[in-house]
Structure 1
Amino acid sequence: MEQKKQHVLLVTYPAQGHINPVLHLARRLAAANGAAVTFSTSVSAHRRMFPSLAAPNDEVQDGPVAHIPFSDGFDEEGFVRGTHDARQYLSQLRTLGSSSVSSILQSLRDRSRPVDCVVYTFCLPWAADVARANGVPSAQYWIQPATVFAIYYHYFHGYSSLITTACSNSEEDPKSTIKFPCLPPLQARDLPSFLTVPPDDPSAVVLDMLKDTFDTLDRERALSSSKPKVLMNTFAELEEDALSAVEDLALIPIGPILSPPDAGRYLLKLDEKGYMEWLDSKPRGSVVYVSFGSMTVLKKEQREEILNGMRDSGRPYLWVLRRECRWEGLELQDDGENGMVVEWCSQVEVLSHPSVGCFVTHCGWNSTFESLVCGVPTVGVPQWTDQGTNAMLAEKIWGTGVRGEANGEGVLEREELKRCLDLVMGEGESSVRIKKNVELWRDKAREAMSAGGSSYQNLRKFVDGITKSGQTIF
């Protein structure tokens, strides 16, 4: 008799930067590890991923992955930054989300599709409590680098006053450093932004959510005979020291987790312009790809500086600029053969194109990791959250890019952008060194996920360790 497949429920926050890596993991689990997989995000995100649904909460079978949404109380349009109160949303997300995910677990059990493990992203720590209440083990999926995880862990385990003091002193000495166990020396600007914002800043609510995340892991540790498991979208060779920085938890590197470009599901509609055909017309390594992700809205001054910096550089560019990021007074149009502007694109497909020679990025972890896996050097223009840390890692630790220096208003000026592009794409020693490092880490990343590689083995061992009795032995 054929052994029943382990059934994993993946629960994720309804943002593109969370959905992408979790959906990649879902497909990896189903295709490479033989697990049955159900993917769950909010109703509003679900209906945008599958816009042709007759009802917004219909279950969808998309290839090997089943999709069943949960309700966060914002089923029509979802949470909108700047419009809805973040604290109220997160409270409602916890209350309604917990009830909804519990109902999904019960429904699947009633339909003879019981879930054997719940995997959740860090914005949804309550999912661990829901899993435990339903007798199902859980694991967290950390979708930022292990270095950032270690920084947060130390902050919530005795280092908060040190960080606060160091950030205050950084105004007088910006180059002063903070030292954590097993991590490189960090300047204040290298820390996740949520550790440095004042308490009255709207984004300070995220720090409370992160504290809840680590409190949940501590509680799971106290209730279990084994260390709580945290799946990490990184690989052992890339962040060896950071992965050893936390002894109380089992940090399991399983990355890079990527799917084929045509397997993506987007909350934003792909632009119908022929950007891939446009890339086909450009020489190898000549195009600058510019994108700041699905959430960042750049200042008007910053957009103007990027536009003029790209024009001054004389290099062809493909710029992702969402509709809400356009502005009056300077209507951004294509620069003929030298520049194309799109509202959204398949990023992995673009980064995989041989004509792309540099990525000007906000340094979100998805973008940073995708550029590394695709072998494209970066110019980092970090804005908030983990992006400053990621930019530091790319420039100082891996040597795969440079970080642009912003002015006193936080704007990367056109001359600085041009300087960075010359460093990365020019003919000098820095460009040669960066390209060599990019190729090195690209090959190591691909090796980690190949059959027999470190991440491949870790993920297989995790899935094999999920037993039918509702316990994990890995």
Structure 2
Amino acid sequence: MPRPHFLLVSYAAQGHINPTLQFAKCLIRIGAHVTFTTSLSARRRMTEVPKAEGLSFVTFSDGYDDGLKPNDDREKFGAEFKRRGTENLNNLIASSNDEGKPITCIVYSLLLHWAMEVAREHQIPCAMLWIQPASVFDIYYFYFNGYEETIKRQAEDEAKCLIKLPGLPPLANRDLPSFVGNQSAYPAAINFFQKQFELVAQETNPKILVNTFDALEPEALNGIEKFKMIGPTNAKLIEDVWGNGVRVRGNEEGIVERDEINRCLDLVMGDGERAKEVRRNAEKWKDLAREASKEGGSLDRNLKSFIDDLEHKD
């Protein structure tokens, strides 16, 4: 049987490239070949090109090779990115066919739902790689499938109301993804996610690759070793669900002051029982993530099942 060939396309931002590359490594480990493509602007920010046996790294010009500037027209950029990105995917599909290595599946990260349209045109299976926590996916799904008014209504009174969604812990407004919790500040973003979910719903057999551990890299679960800029839902999970870190609290103006940073450092790095518990939980989740990622783990088994389904499609 021919070696499966995945075409992975990532938005040119580090928060998209890193998890997509980690996913590429997982595919390679179980025997797939991966062609990874992103904008030239992303390559110029890298110290070196990602290299691995079975990985082809291909860039294309999105018209903004020096990166998007603050004063650039975002709508124009999005249209140009889609136009050139579509052309790039069409070329890669054609060249892969010519080389006798046809694309088995196209996997695209967030913001690139036009890749689904390319896959449809060429009748190639495709899947969205959800690079945010699985819990965030759940929140968006419920928002666009019957819970919009419930979330809006309960979010109006953060002090008293908790938002209750199936399978999730009770959430305050501050625990929601920023695009949902503060829609007036991000109207274009919520429209984008709505479009993404609408396109997925149009698929007869939609495939969404969601990481249930909320991180492909075990170190991403460790709230002690380094500070990370994380979203509000991640902060909720880290403090109240995983118990491997603490959440900073802003003042009335939303500013995190020095004393608050010191409080959090003392809680997670001190000698108290809370600090010890945080460290124990961090190690527990790191071990679980490693178990899931190694050969024979749940991630390994699920990916093999995913590829088997592709190879046995009608």
The normalised TM-score by structure 1 is 0.62
1:90–1:207: structure 2 CA closer, same or farther, 3 Å change rule? Answer: farther
* Counterpart pick for 2:200 among 183, 206, 217: 217
Write the deviation string for residues 158-191 of structure 1: whole angstroms up to 9, x where unpaired.
Answer: 2222222222222xx2x52101111111000000
Alignment of 1:341-352 (within 5 A): none
Matched, 1:370 2:216: no
Matched, 1:189 2:174: yes
CA displacement at 1:50 relative to structure 2: 6.9
Matched, 1:257 2:216: yes
Counterpart AA for 1:436: R
CA displacement at 1:46 relative to structure 2: 3.0
C-alpha distance in structure 1 between counterparts of 2:122 and 2:47, whole Å: 29
Alignment check: 8 A CA contact 2:243 2:281 kept: yes
* Counterpart pick for 1:28 among 21, 26, 29: 26
1:472–1:46: structure 2 CA closer, same or farther, 3 Å change rule? Answer: farther
* Counterpart pick for 1:8 among 6, 9, 13: 6
C-alpha distance in structure 2 between counterparts of 1:415 and 1:48, whole Å: 35
Aligned to 1:366: none
1:401–1:430: structure 2 CA closer, same or farther, 3 Å change rule? Answer: same
CA displacement at 1:439 relative to structure 2: 1.8
Matched, 1:442 2:289: no
CA displacement at 1:197 relative to structure 2: 2.9
Matched, 1:38 2:35: yes
Gaps (5+ residues) in structure 1? 53-59, 236-254, 259-368
Gaps (5+ residues) in structure 2? none
Aligned to 2:57: 67
Counterpart AA for 2:182: V
Alignment of 1:363-442 (within 5 A): 370-372=219-221, 375-377=222-224, 387-442=231-286
Matched, 1:114 2:102: yes
C-alpha distance in structure 2 between counterparts of 1:79 and 1:26, whole Å: 26
Alignment check: 8 A CA contact 1:394 1:401 kept: yes
- Going by fraction, where is helix more abundant, 1 or 2? 2
CA displacement at 1:377 relative to structure 2: 3.0
Counterpart AA for 1:430: R
Alignment check: 8 A CA contact 2:26 2:300 kept: no
Aligned to 1:281: none
CA displacement at 1:204 relative to structure 2: 2.9
Residue 31 of structure 2 aligns to a residue in which SS?
Answer: coil
Matched, 1:79 2:38: no
CA displacement at 1:14 relative to structure 2: 0.5
Residue 412 of structure 1 aligns to a residue in which SS?
Answer: coil
C-alpha distance in structure 1 between counterparts of 2:55 and 2:110, whole Å: 21
Matched, 1:158 2:146: yes
C-alpha distance in structure 1 between counterparts of 2:235 and 2:130, whole Å: 18
Counterpart AA for 2:166: P
1:150–1:177: structure 2 CA closer, same or farther, 3 Å change rule? Answer: same
Counterpart AA for 1:29: L
Aligned to 1:234: 212
Counterpart AA for 1:233: N
Alignment check: 8 A CA contact 1:7 1:36 kept: yes
Residue 465 of structure 1 aligns to a residue in which SS?
Answer: helix
Counterpart AA for 2:135: T
1:381–1:98: structure 2 CA closer, same or farther, 3 Å change rule? Answer: closer
Aligned to 1:49: 46
Structure (1 or 2) with the larger CA radius of gyration: 1
**Percent identity among equivalent residues?**
41
Matched, 1:466 2:310: yes
Residue 119 of structure 1 aligns to a residue in which SS?
Answer: strand
Counterpart AA for 1:190: D
CA RMSD in angstroms comes to 2.4
CA displacement at 1:47 relative to structure 2: 3.9
C-alpha distance in structure 2 between counterparts of 1:123 and 1:23, whole Å: 16
Alignment check: 8 A CA contact 2:8 2:20 kept: yes
Alignment check: 8 A CA contact 1:163 1:178 kept: yes
Alignment check: 8 A CA contact 2:32 2:54 kept: no
* Counterpart pick for 2:156 among 153, 165, 168: 168
C-alpha distance in structure 1 between counterparts of 2:46 and 2:3, whole Å: 26
C-alpha distance in structure 2 between counterparts of 1:414 and 1:18, whole Å: 31
CA displacement at 1:435 relative to structure 2: 1.5
Counterpart AA for 1:257: L
C-alpha distance in structure 2 between counterparts of 1:421 and 1:212, whole Å: 41
Alignment check: 8 A CA contact 1:38 1:67 kept: yes
Write the deviation string for residues 311-352 of structure 1: whole angstroms up to 9, x where unpaired.
Answer: xxxxxxxxxxxxxxxxxxxxxxxxxxxxxxxxxxxxxxxxxx
Counterpart AA for 1:4: P
Matched, 1:453 2:300: no
1:231–1:130: structure 2 CA closer, same or farther, 3 Å change rule? Answer: same
C-alpha distance in structure 2 between counterparts of 1:73 and 1:25, whole Å: 27
Aligned to 1:206: 189
C-alpha distance in structure 2 between counterparts of 1:370 and 1:34, whole Å: 25
CA displacement at 1:409 relative to structure 2: 2.2
| Count of aligned residue pairs for this structure pair | 314
* Counterpart pick for 1:142 among 130, 140, 152: 130
Matched, 1:19 2:7: no
Alignment check: 8 A CA contact 1:44 1:77 kept: yes
